């Protein structure tokens, strides 16, 4: 299975991708509530999240990476903490994440 197909079927399913005129059309953005679900699913599947970019009023607000917090990209503690930090600073943001699905996960025959 291709990475984008996996993300669409298992991670982004039922979530509303937002397109508010951001430059990178291929990068999906989500509301805070949908992004929280995305992070839960990423943790469940062991997906690597390398960075989180919150946007506010059409402009990038900040960026946080797993390297900033000295954690592995698959460690849910870093992206959970980053998301909570951003949410406590500013309400009403949209979020995107740079992530990667491992080839081992993509090669599985049955995924639930």
- pLDDT of 19 over the 80 cut: no
Phi, psi for residue 100 in degrees, rounded to 5: -145, 135
Dihedral angle over CA of 71, 112, 28, 78, nearest 10: -10
Closest by Cα among 64, 65, 54 to 95? 54
Residue whose pair of structure tokens reads 């005129």 in the numeric block: 21
Q: What is the mean pLDDT of residues 3-21?
A: 87
The average confidence (pLDDT) of the chain is: 91
Q: What is the mean pLDDT of residues 6-34?
A: 84
Residue 49 CB neighbours (<10 A) = 24
Position 108 confidence tier, pLDDT thresholds 50, 70, 90? confident
């Amino acid at each position: 299975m291709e990475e984008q197909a996996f993300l669409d079927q298992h991670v982004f399913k039922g979530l509303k991708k937002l397109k508010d005129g951001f430059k990178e059309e291929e990068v999906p953005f989500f509301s805070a509530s949908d992004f929280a679900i995305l992070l839960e699913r990423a943790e469940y599947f062991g997906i690597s999240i390398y960075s989180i970019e919150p946007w506010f009023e059409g402009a990038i607000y900040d960026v946080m990476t797993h390297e900033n917090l000295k954690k592995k990209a698959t460690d849910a503690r870093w992206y959970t903490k980053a998301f909570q930090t951003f949410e406590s600073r500013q309400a009403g943001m949209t979020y995107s994440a740079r992530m990667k699905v491992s080839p081992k996960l993509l090669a599985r025959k049955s995924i639930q």
